[in-house]
Structure 1
Amino acid sequence: MHAFPYWRLSGYYFFYFAFLGAFSPFFGLYLQSLAFSAWDIGLLMSQMQLMRLLGPYVWGWLADRYGRRLLIIRLAALASGLGFLSFFWWQRLEPMLLAMAVLAFFWSAALPLVEALTFDHLREERGRYSRVRLWGSVGFIVAVLVTGALLDHLPASGVLWVCAAILLGILACALGLPEASVAHAGRETVGISDILRRPQVRALLAACFAMSVAHGPFYVFFSIHLADHGYGRSATGVLWSLGVLAEIGVFMAMARLGRRYSLRAILLFAFAAAVLRFVLMGWGMDSLLLAVLVQLLHGLTFGAYHAVAITAINLWFPGAAQARGQALYSSLSFGAGGLLGALISGYTWTAWGAGWTFSLAALAALVGYLLIARGVPAVATVDAAKRQKSADPVQ
């Protein structure tokens, strides 16, 4: 009988997303302490999005070509950790840019392969996936709260020690992961080029790109923005974790929402919430109440949006096209969109200021709203669309 390695997989997710919880909110503050400009900070942080655009395809191809998935996961954990260690003695832009690229290239390799490994272990019990993935969100929250509290008493460089310890945890968990037999995808019935010709598919992918552009300045500059308004490290950690808690709450409610509302309706609501969120983020951070509201809206602008977008991609890219559909979604949104948003905000932060930078993010979200409104039809609820997938892949 197959024994599911619940704690070994959950432990990996915990440390993987704990690294994000320590790195994303606080590494930009460390760079600011080194007197880097906003453009330099945006350029450095954008390497994470750039490598998410390129890395998963390269490592996925190698894993498929040579069948050494677990070896690649372990090598990625080791190489990303070694890349990060160079930050302890490099404090100039050029070598740090190289170190960030190495870190991001190897770090981005692992998660898609671990996701595939997890589903291969789950076999026919895919509904248990959320119970494993949940530990990633727990890891993020623990890391962001602990790191924020520590940095209230330590210099900004303390984030280096926290991230290094977490990367060591990732390596330890990677070494403990067991291999699983690979599940083969079903026969592809629709060509990828035929799928991409469908207006609703193009509209969704373009809207996802716009949503990630909108989130670019948030991931790079939100902590700096809070510090400029007098928020301490602990308060910054609490606000970041509040967004993840809202995201978890929305994920838990999605099954019920999917029985009542269409893909289009949920997406429109999420994009409208993003417009409001980024306007408030740009101009309302003097108010703690508005700062809390801004982070609660993360449950919609990422949680609801991402859950429904993933569902739509799963429906519209059937059979063997499904993996490429998910890769295309990830690369266009988190990769290309996040990269463009980070680079633009690195320029506008200094030239225009925080308010107009986040207003530009709200404009990107509005473009996404219009793409969904004009290009994605409201045919069925999410659940009904799933039931009709075999008869008509496009809802």
Structure 2
Amino acid sequence: MLSIGAFYFFYFVLIGVYIIYLPRMLTRQGFSATEVGIIYAAAPMMRFLLPFFFRRFLSLDDRVYRGALLTLFTASLLFVSTVHTFGLYLAVNLLYGAALGAVLPYVDTIALQVITRERYGRVRLWGSIGFITIALWLGQVLETLNQTFTYLGAASLLTMLTGLYLVRFDPHRDTPVDRDQERAFSLSTYWAFWVSAFLLQVSYGGFYNFFTIYETAQGFSQATISYLWSFGVVCEIVMLYFQGPLLRNHLMGIIKLATLSSVLRWTLLWLWPDHLIVAYISQSLHAVSFALYYTSTITYVFQLYSQKKLAQQFYLGITFGLGGSVGAVLAGWIYDSDPHRLFLFSAITALGAFGMLYLHEGRRRRIDAA
């Protein structure tokens, strides 16, 4: 659906500005790598904590969703006035993360309910197009922190406007939420899957928050780095467009393959950090390690639980939330101490995520047989 695609486009434009270019601008502002890591741990941590609050006290209905969209826009404006004070800027990032923790799970659930899982990738790819568009554009024109915040504010406004339009497509917006069923949601039943998802996202901490800084230190220009980001997203778009038939088959096998591809991806960046061809090969793996992994896992979670929106909140909270937060902090510490070890750590962590999937498969077989 075009309206859902428009939301994904502007939402990931927003994410692109926030992830690709803002960390580097913060280092220019005088923030240390550890401080950048802490700041970029704040928003993910809120995404992790929020589902536990929702499980006990709230439901992700249209009213809460609208409030989250307004909060997201407000936080993007507050960034400008607080960036000169670490504590205040950190607090606004917490507010920003809380809003993110409600917005995307609501839209992902709508998308999976109103379109088939085979078609989901072709709608979600508009987010990737938005991400690559802003990466290419800002790589050519971005020079100051104020410019970065201007793009961030515009993207958040358009995200809010397109997001508000989507409420009409929620098939359950007028249906009362069963609070007892929400409280019965359990992470422990399939704990190994959740640990795997968490570990894989921890492995992405170095990539999301320090890839630009890491490759700049190798002598790559900002334009070259924008091309690397963009190439990865092009590969992601191609995968999202053609992956539909794959999602009809054994989802866990796909998830394992995608997880193993992350191990290879980080190993390449560790062994050959200054080799441009290897960097492009690593980015090509984004098609599998991110695009195929993301769609197969959210589809898997959607099938696994009856509490659809809450399950998506927990998925994003545990992965991009807790995993992103821990990954950002650890990446900051490792980069400060020894930048060359950053992607070795990522590869080992991704390998741990791969091992956890085997534990999950065995446990699920026993549960299904009981």
TM-score strictly above 0.5: yes
Corresponding position: 1:165 with 2:154: yes
SS of residue matched to 1:68: helix
**1:284 is the counterpart of 2:272:** yes
State whether structure 2 residue 102 is matched by structure 1 residue 114.
no
Tell me which of the two structures has the higher relative contact order, counting C-alpha pairs closer than 8 angstroms and 6 or more residues apart: 2
Please state whether the residue corresponding to 1:36 is helix, strand or coil.
coil
Judged with a 3 Å threshold, the aligned counterparts in structure 2 of structure 1 residues 210 and 177 are, in CA distance, closer, same or farther, namely: closer
Residues 316 and 393, structure 1, Cα contact 8 Å, conserved in 2:
no
Q: Which is worse superposed, 154-163 or 51-60?
A: 51-60
User: For residues 347 and 160 of structure 2, what CA distance do their matches in structure 1 show?
Assistant: 38
Matched, 1:345 2:331: yes
Aligned to 1:389: none
Which position in structure 2 is the counterpart of 1:313?
A: 301
Name which of 221, 229, 236 aligns with 1:232.
Answer: 221
Report the Cα offset of residue 111 of structure 1: 2.1
Give the equivalent residue in structure 2 for 1:11.
6
What residue ranges of structure 2 are gaps of 5+ in the alignment?
A: none
**Residue 32 (str. 1) matches residue 17 (str. 2):** no
1:146 counterpart = 2:137:
yes
User: How far apart are the structure 1 equivalents of 2:201 and 2:167?
Assistant: 34
Shift of 1:368: 1.1
Question: Is residue 347 of structure 2 the alignment partner of residue 362 of structure 1?
Answer: yes
Measured against aligned partners, the alpha-carbon deviations of 1:78-130 in whole angstroms (never above 9, x if no partner) come to: 3233333325xx3232222122222222343322233345567x3x7776544
- Equivalent residues in 2 for 1:196-345, closer than 5 Å: 196=187, 198=189, 201-258=190-247, 262-317=250-305, 319=306, 321-345=307-331
SS at match of 1:179: helix
Of 13, 38, 46, the residue aligned with 1:43 is 38
| Structure of larger gyration radius | 1
Q: Displacement of 1:7 after TM fit?
A: 4.2
Q: Which is further off, 155-164 or 366-375?
A: 155-164
* Distance 1:277-1:117 versus aligned 2 partners, 3 A rule: closer
Amino acid of the residue matched to residue 292 of structure 2?
A: A
For the residues of structure 1 that align with 2:327 and 2:237, how far apart are their CA atoms?
A: 25
The 3 A distance-change label for structure 1 pair 164 and 28 is same
Contact 1:83 1:100 in 2 (8 A): no
Number of the residue aligned with 1:383: none
Give, as a single letter, the amino acid of the residue that structure 2 aligns with 1:26: Y
RMSD of Structure 2 on Structure 1 (CA): 3.5
Deviates more, 1:72-81 or 1:232-241: 72-81
Q: CA deviation at 1:62?
A: 7.7
**Distance in 1 of aligned mates of 2:349 and 2:21:** 25
Aligned residues: 367
Deviation at residue 230 of structure 1 after TM alignment: 1.7
- Amino acid in structure 2 at the alignment position of 1:270: A
For residues 188-228 of structure 1, what are the alpha-carbon distances to aligned partners after superposition, in whole Å with 9 as ceiling and x for unaligned?
9x998797555xx2221111111011111111111101111
Give SS of 1:64's match.
coil
The answer to whether the 8 Å contact 2:101/2:313 transfers is no
- Cα distance, 1:349 vs. partner? 0.9
Deviations 1:289-348 (A, max 9, x none): 01101111112221222222223323332x3x3433333322222211111111111111
Distance 1:257 1:368 in 2: 22
**Aligned equivalents of 1:97, 1:76: Cα separation in 2:** 16
Given that residues 79 and 89 in structure 2 are in contact (C-alpha distance below 8 angstroms), is that contact kept between their aligned partners in structure 1?
Answer: no
TM-score by length of 1: 0.80
Q: 1:178 to 1:315 in 2, by over 3 A?
A: closer
2:273 alignment partner, SS class? coil
Q: 1:236 to 1:72 in 2, by over 3 A?
A: same
TM-score normalised by length of structure 2? 0.85
Structure 1 CA distance, aligned partners of 2:251 and 2:110? 28
Contact 1:72 1:110 in 2 (8 A): no
CA contact (8 A) 1:29 1:156 kept: no
Identity %: 26
2:121–2:244 Cα contact (<8 Å) kept: no
C-alpha change, 1:268 and 1:133, in structure 2 (3 Å) is closer
Contact (CA 8 Å) 1:80, 1:107: kept in 2 or not? no
Instruction: Give the deviation of 1:12 after TM superposition.
Output: 2.3
Structure 1 unaligned residues grouped into runs of 5+: 1-5, 381-391
